[in-house]
């Protein structure tokens, strides 16, 4: 039996053990449409039961020694390492990842577990001064039950980056993966922590549709909601959580800019731009969605980028050596093509691509855009690189900021100029002489404006802020005297 053998999880969800479900959904390979298995689908009632059970088990888990919690996280990292090849196969087949992206994502998962294994030993508060004769402390306590709702694009790491720190800090977790990646974004995580020694009932895997997600948000026991996904859904979750007086950590969309400064090495810049726009078929919140190139370089850059786009092969990453795999489903494929064709109809010009290729989409370069065209204004979530020019750094800053999103920006070229430009940009992340796609387990990750509610993932400070509550505690040597 393999680690992810369907005999364990087929037709089931995980809530205090693997449970058969009367409702099931197929696990489908987007490149071929083949069925890879079947997972059990939870209901809102299952969520209610899981939340109640999670609240029961959370107190004992929080009382577990820091050394024991750290050991579970370390063992999880070791298990990800031991079973990396099998996990990568699932990322390739279920999520449509090319092999290098699957390896990168699994590596991030390993790093996340080892990074979070240190959290239980980090300082859990601070000693405060007090005008009275007492000790005054601000200490971090687990939030309780955390709801995690994860997307399909990097299904493993974008769920794990909330699950791992929440568990390490003493919380219980309800995890709802995207239905399209319920194995690589859900079963994998549940199996890893099951084998790592996490007590039953602390982590619950609850695949399902929007009704299950709403139940996770609304369960009274859930005190913190961590959501990664689209901005419209994030707004709805934020509104619902706000009405219920719950914290919602929202990591949402992006239409990220790559600025190519005058004098930049065009060949290197085009390589960076292609990686930023075409990695995982552009299905990344950090994807380079806008190429803003100095007028002195724009023709040369566009030609170099188009040449790279034309050379990128589209196909089935499980059976071929390709650069671009399938988009997650037919609906997303048609949406991407619609944005491209609508923009061309409005006057944009194709320098490369613009075609559906089986279950995938050709790497595309668009020029001649105006800022009101859909390919410029919208988050495409496909392998499309729109290019415009600028003449001054002031104009470049204005173009970058003229966007509802503010997640990630890359600036290529002279470092001094880039630093001055970075100071004028509204973005959660800025990468100088790098493209827009970058993530590390110890770095704070998040955006501004419509990209979310700030840097809530990565590193001990952000994780503590996300998944604990601060309690003020005072201690006196004797009962105080009061005037009543």
Beta strand 468-475 with 135-142 is antiparallel
Read off the pLDDT of residues 338-383 as tens digits, 9 standing for 90 and up: 999 999 999 999 999 999 999 999 999 999 999 999 999 999 999 9
Read off the pLDDT of residues 65-121 as tens digits, 9 standing for 90 and up: 999 999 999 999 999 999 999 999 999 999 999 999 999 999 999 999 999 999 999
- The pLDDT score that the predictor gives to residue 1 is 75
Helix (H) or strand (E) holding 258: strand 256-260
Output the six-digit token pair for 203: 């982590």
- The pLDDT score that the predictor gives to residue 461 is 92
What's the CATH fold of domain 6-252+452-473? Aldehyde Dehydrogenase; Chain A, domain 1 (3.40.605)
Cβ distance 248 to 236 under 8 Å?
A: no
CATH no. for 256-432: 3.40.309.10
Cβ neighbours of residue 210 closer than 8 Å, sequence gap 6 or more: none
Average pLDDT of adjacent 10-residue blocks, the chain of 484 residues: 94 96 96 97 98 98 98 98 98 98 98 98 95 94 98 97 98 98 98 98 97 98 97 96 96 97 98 98 98 98 98 98 98 98 98 98 98 96 98 98 97 98 97 97 93 85 95 96 94
Closest C-alpha to 374, from 382, 409, 394, 275: 382
- The pLDDT score that the predictor gives to residue 345 is 98
Instruction: State how far Cα 173 lies from the chain centre.
Output: 17
Q: What is the mean pLDDT of the chain?
A: 97
d(CA 145, CA 219): 10
Q: Is the dihedral of CA 176, 108, 312, 86 positive or negative?
A: negative
Listed by start position, the domains of the chain span: 6-252+452-473, 256-432
Output the six-digit token pair for 435: 């493209």
- The pLDDT score that the predictor gives to residue 255 is 98
Cβ distance 167 to 193 under 8 Å?
A: yes
Task: Give the CB-side neighbour count of residue 72, counting CA atoms within 13 A.
Answer: 29
Category of 459 on φ-ψ map: left (φ > 0), alpha (ψ -120 to 50) or beta: left
Q: What are the residue numbers of the active site?
A: 251, 285
- The pLDDT score that the predictor gives to residue 454 is 76
Query: Model-level pTM?
Result: 0.96
How large a percentage of the chain has pLDDT more than 70?
100
d(CA 137, CA 191): 38
């Amino acid at each position: 039996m393999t680690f992810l053998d369907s005999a364990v999880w087929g037709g089931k969800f995980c809530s205090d053990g693997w449970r058969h479900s009367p409702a099931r959904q197929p696990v489908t390979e987007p490149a071929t449409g083949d069925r890879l298995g079947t997972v059990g689908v939870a209901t809102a009632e299952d969520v209610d039961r899981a939340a109640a059970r999670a609240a029961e088990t959370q107190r004992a888990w929080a009382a577990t020694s820091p050394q024991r919690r750290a050991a579970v996280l370390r063992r999880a990292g070791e298990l990800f390492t031991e079973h990396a090849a099998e996990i990568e196969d699932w990322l390739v087949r279920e999520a449509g990842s090319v092999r290098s992206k699957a390896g990168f994502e699994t590596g991030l998962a390993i790093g996340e577990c080892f990074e979070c294994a240190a959290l239980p030993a980090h300082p859990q508060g601070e000693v405060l001064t007090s005008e009275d004769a007492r000790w005054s402390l601000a200490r971090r306590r687990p939030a309780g039950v955390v709801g995690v709702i994860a997307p399909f694009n990097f299904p493993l790491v974008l769920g794990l980056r909330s699950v791992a720190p929440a568990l390490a800090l003493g919380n219980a977790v309800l995890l709802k993966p995207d239905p399209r990646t319920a194995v690589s974004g859900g079963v994998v995580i549940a199996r890893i922590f099951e084998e790592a020694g996490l007590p039953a009932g602390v982590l619950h895997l609850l695949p399902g549709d929007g009704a299950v997600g709403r139940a996770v948000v609304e369960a009274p026991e859930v005190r913190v909601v961590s959501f990664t996904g689209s901005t419209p859904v994030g707004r709805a979750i934020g509104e619902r959580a706000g009405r219920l007086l719950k914290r919602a950590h929202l990591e949402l969309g992006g239409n990220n800019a790559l600025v190519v400064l005058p004098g930049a090495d065009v060949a290197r810049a085009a390589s960076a731009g292609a990686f930023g726009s075409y990695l995982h078929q552009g299905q990344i919140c950090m994807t380079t969605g806008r190429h803003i190139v100095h007028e002195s370089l724009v023709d040369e850059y566009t030609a170099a980028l188009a040449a790279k786009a034309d050379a990128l092969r589209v196909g089935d990453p499980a059976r071929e050596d390709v650069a671009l795999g399938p988009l997650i489903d037919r609906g997303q494929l048609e949406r991407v093509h619609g944005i491209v064709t609508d923009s061309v109809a409005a006057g944009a010009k194709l320098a490369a691509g613009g075609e559906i290729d089986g279950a995938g989409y050709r790497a595309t370069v668009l020029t001649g855009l105006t800022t009101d065209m859909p390919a410029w204004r919208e988050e495409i979530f496909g392998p499309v690189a729109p290019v415009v020019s600028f003449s001054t750094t002031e104009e470049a800053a204005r173009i970058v900021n003229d966007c509802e999103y503010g997640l990630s920006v890359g600036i290529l070229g002279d470092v001094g100029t880039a630093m001055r430009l970075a100071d004028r940009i509204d973005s959660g992340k800025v990468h100088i002489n790098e493209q827009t796609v970058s993530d590390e387990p110890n770095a704070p990750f998040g955006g501004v404006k419509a990209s979310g509610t700030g840097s809530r993932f990565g590193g001990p400070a952000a994780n503590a802020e996300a998944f604990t509550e601060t309690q003020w505690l005072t201690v006196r040597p004797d009962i105080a005297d009061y005037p009543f």
